[in-house]
Chains A and B, each alone.
Chain A
Amino acid sequence: MLDGLYQEIILDHYKHPHGRGLRDPFTGEAHHVNPTCGDEITVRVNSSSGEFTDISYDGLGCSISQASASVLYELLLNRSAADAAGIQDAFVALMQGRGQVEPDEDVLGDGIAFAGVAKFPARVKCALLPWMAFKDAAARAGIDVSSEASEVKA
């Protein structure tokens, strides 16, 4: 049963994270904590013309949360606000789908490896931690990546 949770792709992102480390310059930053387990992540975004020219992060957490941040970096770097919102929505829907949602590899790339996580309710919040921090960091950079409004506000 654990094979579904600890996919090779997830372990690989955990052991060799992409884009890790906080970088300057940035236009928005958010720090999120999971109060139940104490996991933390800081996400920074740098944006130019409504595109995420850099996404950097640092945090302490389990393999699921850290690998999820690495996948987020891969998926959202150099994307427009609208693209990022679409990918964010797809990832959140996958995580909240209780294992019933079939992920689209064209949209989620390595993110499809997280399909198994959705069957472990206690771990869903681990996978979502960097995504929620990203959304806040983007909002502070004046970019709304929530599904309702994926327009650039500033």
Chain B
Amino acid sequence: MTFDVARVRADFPILTREVNGHPLVYLDSANTSQKPVQVLDVMRVHNERHNGNVSRSVHTLGTEATSAYEDARAKIAGFVGAATPDEIVFTKNSTEAINLVAHSLGQHLALKPGDEVVISEMEHHSNIVPWQLLCERTGATLRWFGVTDDGRLAPDESLINERTKIVSVVHMSNVLGTINDVTGIVARAHEVGALVMLDCSQSVPHLPVDVQALGADFIAFTGHKMLGPTGIGVLWGRYSLLAEMPPFLAGGSMIETVTMGGTTYAAPPARFEAGTPPIAEAIGLGAAVDYLTALGMEAVHQHEQDITAYALKVLTDVPGVRLFGPATPEGRGGTLSFGVDGVHPHDVGQILDALGVEVRVGHHCAKPTCARFGVPAMTRASFYLYTTTDEIDALARGLDQVKKVFG
């Protein structure tokens, strides 16, 4: 079955609206994606018909809610190739998933001065700050891969060594669009006995991701960037590691038994899901996974590769536009950051918005990446399964208008 973008778009009610008198051109899916009716309906029906708390009720509604919640976990496990649904921990977002690992794994490994944690210069702040804090708490040293001029991780043979305990890098950059080939990093880390976490917030929504093939020990991703709702994220971890790690947040649902003298903890994933979870959101994410699975992630990825190739060509042809990140679609996804000569990204974004074209401007929560390219901010257009070549043309027309206003 060929990928029919018009048919896909018909599933997304928001795509029919106008913004400032123009048809909406939504080019900000790396920030948050839009939701199809299939996701919205599942969440509405859950709240209208099946709402109950999970994992504790004997009544019918609670049982239905628990069953839907756990079904969602199983769908997500299948989607990323987890060995078992018990390897899927629901969190609030990717940020919480990374913080969970920084705390619990940091404690489990008893990090100390002399130990090293390795990240990169192309990380989102959520994959920088938790490790900075871990290093502050433990005295470990934070080190990082640099970024090349064409937006790739700069190879550094000695960076991962026998002192390295944790390596956490981004799978696909939220700024440069780079899809990192992590094979070498994972192999090197495991060779020296270090564990590997991958921030897959931008990759799981857009390309087939199989945790077994990646070879990492933990990955994080978030629901709202993959057609699901906000407030639900995912940590996948190898079960044997999760089983050894101490809890992160503590409270209800994460215990085995509690006395006034002490507590024993539930097995994963419950150990890491303290308190009432975002139930409807988890179920909504399960529906999003169903939607993506039905289309096929290969087909989604191929569509985005085609759009990206088109956009790279169109933007390269706009005089005064400087692209950041890989210049060809190979090893990159549909997230394009650029600068317009002499015009600040805020002004670019404002003029595009007046034309209904919604892009992200600013530092994209990745200030070191911007600094690497010598700019305080960038304009970013990001694509998804509903993006069309007409929308890329609308972006190019908008950029002509930007240059007219600031010419």
Contact = CB atoms under 8 A, between A and B. Distances in A.
B346 A37 contact: yes
Interface in A2-26: 2, 5-6, 11
A38 B362 contact: yes
A154 interface: no
A53 interface: no
Given A6-B405, A126-B346, A1 B20 contact: yes
Given A60-B376, A62-B344, A120-B350, A38 B405 contact: no
A78 interface: no
Contacts of B377: 37-39
B406 A11 contact: yes
B354 A2 contact: yes
A122 B251 CA distance: 38
Interface string B344-358: 111100110010000
A13 B20 CA distance: 27
B24 to A, nearest CB: 16
A123 B350 contact: yes
B373 to A, nearest CB: 13
A60 B374 CA distance: 12
B363 interface: yes
B167 interface: no
A1 B354 contact: yes
Given A2-B351, A11-B405, A63-B406, A40 B346 contact: no
A68 to B, nearest CB: 13
B406 A38 contact: no
B344 A61 contact: yes
A112 interface: no
A38 B344 contact: no
A36 interface: yes
Contacts of A11: 405-406
Contacts of A5: 350
B354 A37 contact: no
A64 B347 CA distance: 8
4 tightest A-B contacts by CB? A62-B346, A62-B344, A38-B363, A37-B362
B31 to A, nearest CB: 13
A109 B370 CA distance: 36
Interface string A94-124: 0000000000000000000000000010010
B367 interface: yes
B361 interface: yes
Contacts of A61: 344, 346, 376
Nearest to B354: A2
Contacts of B346: 37, 39, 61-64, 123, 126
A62 B347 contact: yes
Nearest to B371: A38
Contacts of B351: 2, 6
Nearest to B363: A38
Interface centre among B20, B346, B361 (most CB of A within 10 A): B346
A11 B406 CA distance: 7
A14 to B, nearest CB: 8
A37 B20 contact: no
Contact of B361 (A2, A6, A37, A120): A37
14 contacts: A2-B350, A2-B354, A2-B405, A6-B347, A11-B406, A37-B377, A38-B370, A38-B377, A39-B376, A40-B376, A62-B347, A63-B343, A63-B346, A64-B347
A2 B339 CA distance: 21
A114 to B, nearest CB: 14
B350 A38 contact: no
Interface string B373-407: 00011000000000000000000000000000110
B362 A63 contact: no
A104 to B, nearest CB: 26
Contacts of B345: 62
A11 B351 CA distance: 13
Contacts of A120: 350
A120 B376 CA distance: 22
Contacts of B20: 1
Contacts of A66: 344
Given A1-B354, A6-B405, A11-B406, A38 B376 contact: yes
A65 to B, nearest CB: 8
A1 B350 CA distance: 11
B363 A63 contact: no
Interface in B323-364: 343-347, 350-351, 354, 361-363
Nearest to B355: A2
A120 B351 CA distance: 12
Nearest to B364: A38
